[in-house]
A = this chain, B = another copy of it.
Amino acid sequence: MEIGRELNAASRQRIEASFARQGLMGLLGARLLRVETGLVTIALPFRPEVTQQHGYFHAGGSSTIADTAGGYAAMTLFPPDSSVLTVEFKLNLIRPAQGQRLEATGRVIKPGRTLTICQLDVWGVTDDGRTHCATGLQTLIRVAGET
C-alpha cells in the first residue's frame, strides 16, 4: 500500500456514490476534494449555517468532515464488498476554525484486515494559505456488506 497513490476508477466511483448518499454531507454543503489510496480530503465551505456562537466554524463541522474523510480513506483500501464503521475518534481543536473553507484529511497510518487507524487533520483555508486547526486519531472497523 502506498498512501497517496492514484486510486482505480471503480473504487473512486464507489466512494463518490457512498458520499452522495450521506444526507449530512449534502446538508452541510461538504464535498469530496481528493480521493487517493488511503488518503481522502473533504472541504466544507464557510457560511453562517455551519458556525458556533462566535461565528467560527463549529467544532462539529470539523469533526464531521474529519470523521468522514478518515472513513473513506480506510475504505479505499477495502475490497468492494465491505464497508466501514468508525469505532472511535479523538480530535484536538488546536486553533480557531476559520477561513473561506475547512479542509479535512483522513490518512491511513495503519491498515488492517479488521481495524484501520487514520490520522485526521483539519485546516482553515483562505486565499492566503491554510492554518492547521485540528488534529486527531480515528479507529475504524471493516464490516461485510453494503458500502
A interface vs B, CB < 8 Å?
18-19, 21-24, 26-28, 47-54, 58-61, 63-65, 67-68, 83, 85-95, 109-110, 114-115, 117, 119, 132, 135-137, 139, 141, 146-147
Contacts and interface: CB of A to CB of B under 8 A. Distances in A.
16 contacts: A19-B53, A23-B50, A23-B58, A24-B52, A24-B58, A27-B27, A60-B64, A60-B67, A63-B67, A64-B64, A88-B88, A88-B93, A88-B139, A92-B137, A94-B117, A114-B141
Given A90-B89, A139-B139, A141-B114, A51 B63 contact: no
Nearest to A147: B53
Nearest to A65: B60
